[in-house]
A = this chain, B = another copy of it.
Amino acid sequence: MARGNTRQRIQDVALELFAEQGYEKTSLREIAERLDVTKAALYYHFKTKEDILIGLFHDLTRPMDELIEWAKAQPRSLETRQEVLRRYQAALLDAAPLFRFMQENQATVRELSVGLTFKERMIELTGLVKEPDFAMVDQVRCISAIFTLHAGAFFMQNVEGDPEDKQDAVLEVALDLLAQAHDA
């Protein structure tokens, strides 16, 4: 039967259940049952339950980290920042369930024994699209641009309209905020 890919299947099912019910309320029994294997089988692939979560966490943060690293290597210009927003939106949409899960389970994820937290990465990211000596209003605009992308990925599904149109509009507003901040 399906071989070798078990590790991935576990992660997939885990994400699905974690996202639906939260990490703590999802038991390994549930995951195992949905995969039609025994709990013990999970332990062949992951040392602990937290390990499954950490795996997911890394899948999520890798693109963020890459984006951050890339941005750091670029000139601190408006153009770079525009590109950061574009790429961040793409990442967000690409891994929406993962992002959503991390947002909705921050309380859990915060305690994870794993390098930088999600929030720390957000701080880094926002730091990259603004200058500390900007006027406060403009700093807020830059941060708002990032959160607009978040809203776009997680909240805009509640608004009528063509998905692509919506994401275009979201990006436009975000870029606009950025531009306003840099105009001042």
The interface of chain A, by Cβ under 8 A from chain B, is: 19-25, 101, 103-108, 111, 119, 122-123, 126, 132, 135-137, 139-141, 143-144, 147-148, 150-152, 155-156, 158-161, 165-166, 168-170, 172-173, 177
Give the CA-CA distance A158 to B173 in the complex, in Å. 23
If A104-B106, A104-B107 touch, does A173 touch B140 (CB 8 Å cutoff)? yes
Chain A to chain B contacts (Cβ below 8 Å), 5 pairs: A20-B107, A21-B107, A103-B103, A137-B169, A141-B173
Query: B residues within 8 A CB of A106?
Result: 103-104
Number of copies of this protein chain within its complex:
4
A151 touches B147 (CB 8 A): yes
Q: Name the residue of chain B whose CB is nearest to the CB of A139.
A: B159
Give the CA-CA distance A119 to B154 in the complex, in Å. 11
If A107-B105, A148-B144, A173-B144 touch, does A123 touch B158 (CB 8 Å cutoff)? yes
